[in-house]
Amino acid sequence: MERRPHLDLVKDGGLLRNTEEIPQTSLVKSAAQCSHKEGGRGPVAPRIIKIRRNFNREEIKVEGRVKKRKWRNVPETGNIEEKKKEDEISKSSKVTAASEEGGGEAKRPRVAGTRSFPLQISSYRLHEELGKGAFGKVMLASLADSSERVAIKIIEKEDQNKELIEREARVLEAARGCPYLCQLHAAFQTEREVFLVMEHIRGGSLLDAITKGPLRMDTLICYAAEMVCGLQHLHAKGIVHRDIKPVNVLMTGKDHIKIIDFGIAAENLFGQSTTSCSHGTDLYLAPEVLMKKTYDAGMDWWALGHTLFSLVTCRMPFYSGADKEQRINSILHDPPAFPMCMNSRLKDLLQKLLEKDPEKRLGVHGNIREHPLFRNIDWTAVESQKL
The structural domain count of the chain equals: 2
Give per-residue pLDDT as tens, 245-266: 999 999 998 889 999 999 889 9
Domain boundary among 146, 174, 199: 199
**Which member of 8, 12, 145, 243 is catalytic?**
243
143 and 113, same domain (yes or no): yes
131 and 12, same domain (yes or no): yes
Q: Is the pTM of this model over 0.85?
A: no
Give per-residue pLDDT as tens, 97-124: 333 333 333 333 333 335 789 999 999 9
Quick check: 334 pLDDT over 70?
yes
**CATH code for position 95:** 3.30.200.20
57 and 174, same domain (yes or no): yes
Task: Please report which confidence band the pLDDT of residue 269 belongs to, taking 50, 70 and 90 as the band edges.
Answer: low
Cα distance between residue 31 and residue 48, in whole Å: 5
Range of the domain at 136: 3-199
Domain boundary among 199, 233, 252: 199
Is 91 annotated as contributing to ligand binding?
Answer: no
Per the annotation, the verdict on 243 as an active-site residue is yes
119 and 229, same domain (yes or no): no
251 and 104, same domain (yes or no): no
247 and 170, same domain (yes or no): no
Domain boundary among 176, 199, 222: 199
Q: Which residue has the higher pLDDT, 297 or 50?
A: 297
Report the half-sphere exposure of 316 (CA within 13 A, side-chain side). Answer: 14
Give per-residue pLDDT as tens, 221-231: 999 999 999 99
Report the half-sphere exposure of 153 (CA within 13 A, side-chain side). Answer: 22
216 and 187, same domain (yes or no): no
